Amino acid sequence: MIIILIGAPACGKGTQAELLKEKYALRHISTGDLLRAEISKNTPLGEDIAKLINNGNLVPDDMILGLLNNALKMKGKGIVLDGFPRTLTQAKLLRGIVKDQGEKIRAVVNFTLAEEEVVQRIIYRRQCRHCGNIFSVRFVKNFDGHCPKCDSTDIYQRADDTETSARHRLEIYKKETEPVKEFFKEKTYYMQTDGNRPVQEIFKDISSFIERK
């Protein structure tokens, strides 16, 4: 089973990918996470990637494909792709890889979200280093720097989660990633979901779509 999640930054792809991973025993592949893992190795490649990401630019297709090379070998286990493909070139390459491996795409889920909501989600997003919890300080009453889940004070904000970067990422999204939506739109496995709803409601929609007869 191959499930592809597309949509603007902070639209909820990562959250839904984790839920789908648990429910359908999939591998969750997030290109953003793979890139951040490369950055944390402090290699020259990592430094180049950091410059691109922190300014809100996309990483070139060949670099992404290089990183994904092994991860995309399906080996019988299904995958949920979060943040890939983000360009038409990546979409076409993925279609080829899926075909070559004799696999099938089960769903392409496109999350819709108003632009201002995207920006608000990005600038208020924080993550806890201790338990990995990703949360919005918008919804934590009297936020005092503690993680609402585990109470740790080891909280950080992603370097690319600034307002300037958020607005730039939205422009890139419209230019580079909207065509990916068009590429899949006519397929029977394409669905669109309103990303501005409770997590469980969205999850229910996606699950019913996947399990439809």
Binding site for ligand AMP (CB under 6 A): 9, 31-32, 35, 52-53, 57-59, 64, 83-84, 86, 90, 160, 169
Residue 143 one-letter amino acid: F
Residue appearing with tokens 């699950």: 207
Q: Which of 23, 95, 158, 181 is catalytic?
A: 158
Q: Rounded CA gap, 194 and 109, in Å?
A: 10
- Active-site annotation holds for 126: no
Question: Among residues 21, 121, 126, 169, which one is catalytic?
Answer: 169
Residues 6+ apart with CB under 8 A from 62: none
Sign of CA dihedral 122, 124, 129, 133: negative
CB of 126 to ligand AMP, least distance (A): 15
Active site residue 169: yes
Given the complex with ligand AMP, which of 89 and 192 has the nearer CB atom? 89
In the complex, what is the shortest distance from the CB of residue 198 to ligand AMP, in angstroms, rounded to a whole number?
A: 21
- Going by C-alpha positions, the residue among 137, 141, 134, 140 that lies closest to residue 123 is 137
- Residue number with CB closer to ligand AMP (165 or 193): 165
**121 in catalytic set:** no
The residues that are catalytic are 13, 86, 125, 158, 169
